[in-house]
Amino acid sequence: MLGSIEAGGTKFVCGIGNEQGEVLERISIPTKTPDETIPEVIEFFKKRKVEAIGIGTFGPIDVKKSSPTYGHVLNTPKLAWQNYPFFQTVLDELQVPTGFTTDVNAAALGEYQFGAAKGLDSCLYITVGTGIGAGAVVNGELLEGLSHPEMGHIIVRRHPDDHFEGNCPFHKDCFEGLAAGPAIEKRWGKKGIEMTDRKEVWKMEAYYIAQALVQYIMILVPERIVIGGGVAHQESIFPLVRENVKSLLNGYFTHQELNENIADYIVAPGLKDNAGLVGGLVLARHALEEEE
């Protein structure tokens, strides 16, 4: 049995599963302070005797194993979690091999191994919701360097009709600052879920998402792009994004995936809302294999 922790801004989803990516049991715990949330997480796993744990968490986090603060949550807006030794705490309490990465990296791993990108050598997973983040798998490995990617904070061209100043506390009008859920709400005065039939909202959203995807395509050329998060539940966004991506690429790539077959290239998660949890199981398996 393997354990998985999907640590999100509003809730922790903890699951038990197997090497085939099957989630057999799960529990949801509200994200409060570490002193309130983590004991509940530990208790859940101690009762179930898992062989390894995979953690996919909100960030930013330190993923560099040679760093003295490896496994810490860094300068997150959630003040109680700043500098929290997440990885080490779980390792000390459960005493099993533990994998640690971002929530979007975990989701990318899940989709790569068992979801929409199964059988491919690379993929990119992006979540567009309360925030925007992305993770990439290249030749079977997570893309990490000095740190984990921060693909939500790239700079995009402003839509000609958009006069919203942006919502990112660091960059104002970066991709996340213009296209994440809170930006949609501040710009239009309503939550996205209340505006499903307003075409202008989703045309502008697709304009920004497509720009980001084109940059990722130019740099990483992944074999598939998976869009998750709350915005992905707005089904009308997918045709708009694909159309914008094709327009921006303007025939530069001749690959069918980026032209006539783009509907099979930019897709919704194959694992639906389970991508992060299943990715945690993959992380756990990797951690177990590294110990053997």
Report the percent of the chain where pLDDT is more than 70: 100
Between residues 95 and 10, the one the model is more confident about: 95
CA 10 to chain CA centroid, Å, is 15
Name the residue among 101, 108, 111, 123 with its Cα closest to residue 287. Answer: 101
Judge whether 124 and 222 are in contact, CB under 8 Å.
yes
Put residue 102 in one of left, alpha, beta given phi > 0 → left and psi -120 to 50 → alpha: beta
Which amino acid would we find at residue 223? E
Judge whether 62 and 68 are in contact, CB under 8 Å.
no
pLDDT in tens, 41-53: 999 999 998 999 9
Q: Is the pLDDT of residue 289 over 90?
A: yes
Name the residue among 88, 139, 97, 131 with its Cα closest to residue 291. Answer: 97
| pLDDT attached to residue 173 | 97
Which amino acid would we find at residue 1? M
User: What is the pLDDT confidence band of residue 77, given thresholds at 50, 70 and 90?
Assistant: confident
pLDDT in tens, 214-255: 999 999 999 999 999 998 889 899 999 999 999 999 999 999
CA 250 to chain CA centroid, Å, is 28
Q: Is the pLDDT of residue 2 over 90?
A: yes
User: What is the pLDDT confidence band of residue 67, given thresholds at 50, 70 and 90?
Assistant: very high
| pLDDT attached to residue 167 | 94
pLDDT in tens, 82-117: 999 999 999 999 999 999 999 999 999 999 999 999
DSSP calls for 202-255: HHHHHHHHHHHHHHHHHHH--S-EEEESGGGG-TTHHHHHHHHHHHHHTT----
| pLDDT attached to residue 291 | 86
Residue 18's Cβ-side half-sphere holds a number of Cα atoms within 13 Å equal to 3
For the residues 188-217, what does the mean pLDDT come to?
Answer: 97
| pLDDT attached to residue 139 | 95
As separate numbers, helices (DSSP H) first and strands (DSSP E) second, the chain gives 8, 10
Judge whether 204 and 232 are in contact, CB under 8 Å.
no
Tokens read off for 81: 């979690």
pLDDT in tens, 125-162: 999 999 999 999 999 999 999 999 999 999 999 999 99
Residue with tokens 């860094």: 74
CA terminus-to-terminus distance, the chain: 16
In this structure, the chain runs to a length of: 292
| pLDDT attached to residue 292 | 78
Q: What is the dihedral of CA 147, 223, 155, 237, to 10 degrees?
A: -130
pLDDT in tens, 168-196: 999 999 999 999 999 999 999 999 999 99
Residue 40: what are its φ and ψ, rounded to 5°? -65, -40
For the residues 248-273, what does the mean pLDDT come to?
Answer: 97
Q: Is the pLDDT of residue 9 over 90?
A: no
| d(C-alpha 186, C-alpha 165), whole Å | 10
